[in-house]
């Protein structure tokens, strides 16, 4: 399984998940609800990158960003969702996109104030904003920090100008370097996104880039392979000089070894962190926690004592905004069938290199561990997974062939 950027898991992860009546009897019984996070989707960007399959929309040259109207819609969206999360505390907030840094700090401040007035947010909540080097400057970083953002995720992707041009990025390598240095003066918690197996990239070129990235001392790095996702420009028109499968695998393995040697812990498929600097928001995803998704195209997963649901908002901002303001229907509810929950849980948990406690399966799915006794035994026999009396974790072989491991848990 290729590594991929991970700001928000897809709404459905198995073809067998289907919409059903919410009154259907369930064998799911949760003793307590999992932690809750908030994902806020800001879907506009200056230019859509040819590899991007996220719900993002270019800001037209003849149209202004509908910033105020979209903020109004997000607040209305939250108000509509309040009955589902009433009394629960939010442990982290993630502003993803698109390019969230196109929005002003004033709008972020207004949103965070509106959230705090309506829901309980933990005093130490991690609040992350995605930003691109081509859409920020020092004062804007300071304003975001003052508005309440305490973690920045900066999408640099590469420090090679030729590679950035192929990727369709709007910033140069020097702009990325300046943005990193500026952001690190303002944010203690930071992430850099870099891409691996880029056109024309070999192991030596990747090491050269990573050595420079490591030199900044950024506490968290997301390093993920370029993949040609369906419904993208690159899928229809692949870039020239893509590394072979063997070269891409060598680049991936060498990148992991380089980052580990530099003191980073490889804790998730595409994530590396210095001690105590892991992304709490993304960890909640991989530990099968809950998250409320707000915004056009946002997805969510919410647990109730007798069921687990996934929600998906309508994707087009021009439809989402008026309907959210009118409290019209903006989302679909999907109950996850109990027979699909083992796959759903493992799809997330097995991205964690250190695995998860065995008890987490019962806590987060409401199912007994006996439901997965057979696939666990098969995975162990094939050398894809290991477990003891307290934990289960993918082996190094299982991490490399994660799709094969996950297939064992399909219904």
Q: What is the pLDDT of residue 17?
A: 31
Is the separation of the CB atoms in 254 and 209 below 8 Å? Answer: no
pLDDT of 6 higher than 60: no
The answer, yes or no, to whether residue 14 has pLDDT greater than 50, is: no
Q: Name the pTM for this structure.
A: 0.93
Q: Which CATH architecture has domain 339-411?
A: Orthogonal Bundle (1.10)
Terminal alpha carbon distance of the chain: 20
Which residues have a Cβ under 8 Å from the Cβ of 32 and sit 6 or more positions away? 363
Q: Given the DSSP bridges, would you call strands 120-131 and 44-45 parallel, antiparallel or unpaired?
A: unpaired
14-28, 216-230, 260-274, 357-371: which range is least confident on average? 14-28
Residue ranges of the chain assigned to CATH 1.10.10.10: 339-411
Does position 8 have pLDDT exceeding 80, yes or no?
A: no
Q: What are the structure tokens assigned to 180, written together?
A: 């990193």
What CATH topology corresponds to 36-285?
TIM Barrel (3.20.20)
The phi, psi pair for 115, rounded to 5°, reads -65, -45
Chain segment 128-157, per-residue pLDDT in tens:
999 999 877 789 999 999 999 999 999 999
Whether pLDDT at 103 is above 50: yes
User: pLDDT class for 1, splitting at 50, 70, 90?
Assistant: very low
Looking at the chain, the domain(s) classified CATH 3.20.20.70 span: 36-285
pLDDT, averaged across the chain? 92
- What is residue 21's predicted lDDT score, i.e. its pLDDT? 38
Question: Mean pLDDT over residues 373-392, rounded?
Answer: 96
Q: Render pLDDT for 259-301 as a digit per residue (tens, 0 to 9).
A: 999 999 999 999 999 999 999 999 999 999 999 999 999 999 9
Task: Determine the length of the chain.
Answer: 411
């Amino acid at each position: 399984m290729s590594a991929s950027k991970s700001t928000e898991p897809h709404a459905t992860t198995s073809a067998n998940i289907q919409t059903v009546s919410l009154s259907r009897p369930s064998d799911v019984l949760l003793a307590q609800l999992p932690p809750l996070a908030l994902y806020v989707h800001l879907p506009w960007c200056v230019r859509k990158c040819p590899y991007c399959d996220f719900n993002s929309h270019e800001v037209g040259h003849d149209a202004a960003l509908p910033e105020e109207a979209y903020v109004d819609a997000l607040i209305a969206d939250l108000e509509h969702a309040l009955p589902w999360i009433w009394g629960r505390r939010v442990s982290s907030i993630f502003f993803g996109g698109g390019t969230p840094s196109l929005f002003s700090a004033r709008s972020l401040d207004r949103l965070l104030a509106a959230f705090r007035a309506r829901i309980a947010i933990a005093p130490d909540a991690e609040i992350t904003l995605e930003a691109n080097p081509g859409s920020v400057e020092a004062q804007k970083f300071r304003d975001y920090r003052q508005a309440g953002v305490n973690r920045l995720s900066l999408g640099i992707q590469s420090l090679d100008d030729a590679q950035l041009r192929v990727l369709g990025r709007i910033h140069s390598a020097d702009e990325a370097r300046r943005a990193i240095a500026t952001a690190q003066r303002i944010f203690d918690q930071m992430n850099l996104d870099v891409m691996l197996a880029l056109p024309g990239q070999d192991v030596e070129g990747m090491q050269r880039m990573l050595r420079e990235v490591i030199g900044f001392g950024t506490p968290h790095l997301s390093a993920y392979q370029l993949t040609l996702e369906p419904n993208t420009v690159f899928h229809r028109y692949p870039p020239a000089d893509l590394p072979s499968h063997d070269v891409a695998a060598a680049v991936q393995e060498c990148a992991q070894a380089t980052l580990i040697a530099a003191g980073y812990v490889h804790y998730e498929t595409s994530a590396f962190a210095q001690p105590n600097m892991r992304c709490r928001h993304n960890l909640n995803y991989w530990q099968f926690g809950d998250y409320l998704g707000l915004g056009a195209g946002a997805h969510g997963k919410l647990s109730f004592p007798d069921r687990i649901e996934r929600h998906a908002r309508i994707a087009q901002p021009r439809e989402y905004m008026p309907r959210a303001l009118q409290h019209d229907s903006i989302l679909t509810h999907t109950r996850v069938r109990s027979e699909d929950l083992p796959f759903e849980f493992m799809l997330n948990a097995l991205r964690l290199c250190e695995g998860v406690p065995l008890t987490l399966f019962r806590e987060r799915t409401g199912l007994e561990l006996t439901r997965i006794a057979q696939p666990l035994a098969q995975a162990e026999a094939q050398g894809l997974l290991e477990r003891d009396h307290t934990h289960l974790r993918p082996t190094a072989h299982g991490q490399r062939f994660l799709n094969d491991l996950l297939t064992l848990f399909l219904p």
